[in-house]
Amino acid sequence: MALVTLKPKHEQRILAGHLWVYQGNVAEVDGEPSPGDIVDVRAANGEGLGRGYYNPHSQIVIRLLTRTDEPIDDAFFAERIRRARAWRARFMPGATSYRLVYSEGDLLPGLIVDRYEDVLVVQFLTLGMDVRRDQIVRILAELEKPRAIYERSDVPSRKYEGLELRTGLLWGELPQQPMVIKENGLSFEVDVVAGQKTGYFLDQKENRQALAQLVPGARVLDVFCHNGPFSVHALQFGAREVLGVDSSAQALETARRNAALNGFTDAARFVQANAFDLLRELDRSGDRYDVVILDPPAFAKSKSHFESARRGYKEINLRGIKLLRPGGFLVTCSCSHHMPADAFYELILEAASDARRPLRLVEWRGQAKDHPVLAGVPETAYLKCLIFQAL
């Protein structure tokens, strides 16, 4: 096994809990590892730091899998997947659709596995996981006994690893799409073949439950509603009516079907529109709501997009705050890792100041527990969900 030695003082981030070794951290590679091979990593003083897979073509040259001297074999991956499943069983008892493996959060960097009832959807995000694709699929089939395993490795980040985008059935027989899953006792259509990401946004599961105390009897505006899960949860928790807004006609058709699946056809209305334009129109018209939900796509896809993303987030929050009745609630989210939590909070306060509406913080939330945050790896904490009351 090849041995990688880091430059002096370049081990501190690893000792603090991170799993990534960058090209610039490396002083020497002893041996000739091939892309995807397992290598040992040590500090300049000889201290062992761990063992991970190697990709000389990526800026992240090593991603650690373990900090001990253990083989990276079938037993290793099977045990990690068992531990991941045990975490979900502890914190989401009874759930039938959830993220089974969350990359670094489950100490399996580069691997995503989502369970939708009896179907698994996998993403191999890195070369180190991609070369172990058949091994991981076989282990998942043995441990989880799914009806099908479908690959959605069609994420742009694979290009940074020198990998092509790829999708397709890897194991079993895929049920007709879309299929129906259960979340918090409600039914939702999921298309694992053509849907966004792996078919559904599982990370907001707990934040959707948080609507229960906010929406009874409320008039709700759900902006960037996508397939309608926030809208449907709001109606389930007693909202009087919901207006869902999205720019995708296809997503809105699914949202209407999801509302119907759960018996809320009459109380739900979905309109196709540019969210920024519609928020301004609603403000000018004097329309007001008891609850405004803002769950936009990632505005900041890289550090270079931070300022433009900040302007976008501030604009929608300013408009959302203005649309609230006195005592109404704002549920505002950002899924951009490059938008830090403190910066997100600050821009909301700026928006409230511009709107001349004082806010009271009700709750500061994050991603669901099936997306565990690994201390020392800030990249695993990306979702912000803040709930305010407008006074």
Which residues are designated catalytic? Answer: 335
Closest CA to 110 of 29, 20, 42: 20
Residue 240: exposed, middle, or buried by beta-carbon count in 10 A (0-12, 13-18, 19+)? middle
Query: Tokens in use for 114?
Result: 């989502």
Query: Tokens in use for 354?
Result: 């511009």
Can the peptide bond before residue 296 be classed as cis, meaning omega within 30 degrees of 0?
no
Q: Name every residue whose Cβ is closer than 8 Å to that of residue 266 and which is 6 or more positions away in sequence.
A: none
Give phi and psi for 5, each to the nearest 5. Answer: -105, 135
Contact 1, 39 (CB under 8 A): yes
The one-letter code for the residue type at 322 is K
User: Please, what's the b/e burial string for 273-310 (b: 16 or more CB within 10 A of its CB; e: otherwise)?
Assistant: eebeebbeebbeeeebbbbbbbbbeebbeeeebbeebb
Q: Name every residue whose Cβ is closer than 8 Å to that of residue 283 and which is 6 or more positions away in sequence.
A: 319, 322, 323
Give phi and psi for 106, each to the nearest 5. Answer: -115, 20
Q: Name every residue whose Cβ is closer than 8 Å to that of residue 210 and which is 6 or more positions away in sequence.
A: 331, 363, 365, 385, 387
